[in-house]
Amino acid sequence: MPATKIREFLDRANIPYTTILHPPAFTAQKTAAVAHVPGREVAKTVVVKVDDQLALAVLPADLNLDLEHLRSILGADSVELASEWEFKDRFPDCEAGAMPPFGNLYDMPVYVADALAEDEFIAFNAGNHREMIRMRYADFARLVKPRVLDITWHRV
């Protein structure tokens, strides 16, 4: 099961968390709805290429990633969405589109939207489309050491 790697990592670090099983869902907002978790707490993990290096952008389900602003903040020449074929080998234990925000487990930097960092809790796909993990954001930040940035824009 894909979530095993994450649960083992959290257990070794003595981090409290809750596992939420839910009907299959394939978008972050749908996952929030079927799992009965507030959308602002549900983190969607977006794989980006920053100057051709893979990284994770993590943001609330109800917001969109501002690629140009991320590029500007990082001082990069380019930032673009990575295609599945570019990153699927990095996540061999995960279903496509269900990557957890633990870049440290996959040798990737993590950029977290400041809007997500404002909440007490974070919930995210546990490597599949049927299971989420919910934990304190402070614990997530301590383990992952993400760079917190203003990288989102609201849907209109």
Residue 148, CA atoms < 13 Å, CB-side half-sphere: 14
- Superfamily of domain 3-151, CATH level 4: YbaK/aminoacyl-tRNA synthetase-associated domain (3.90.960.10)
Coil, strand or helix at 52 = coil
Q: Which burial class, exposed, middle or buried, applies to 84 when counting CB atoms under 10 A from its CB (0-12, 13-18, 19+)?
A: exposed
Which residue's entry shows tokens 């380019």?
78
Q: What is the predicted pLDDT for the residue at 12?
A: 96
Q: What is the pLDDT of residue 10?
A: 96
Look at residue 28 and tell me whether its pLDDT is greater than 70.
yes
The residue behind tokens 């099961």 is 1
Beta partners for 18? 134
Q: pTM value?
A: 0.91
Amino acid at 107: D
Residue 146's pLDDT band, with cuts at 50, 70 and 90, is very high
Spans of all domains in the chain: 3-151
**8 sits in which H/E element:** helix 3-12
Asked if residue 40 has pLDDT above 80, the reply is no
Residue 72 pLDDT? 96
Count of alpha carbons within 13 Å of 84, Cβ hemisphere only? 7
Residue 25's pLDDT band, with cuts at 50, 70 and 90, is confident
Helix, strand, or coil (residue 140): helix
Per-residue pLDDT of 53-90, as tens digits, reads: 999 999 998 899 999 999 999 999 999 999 999 999 99
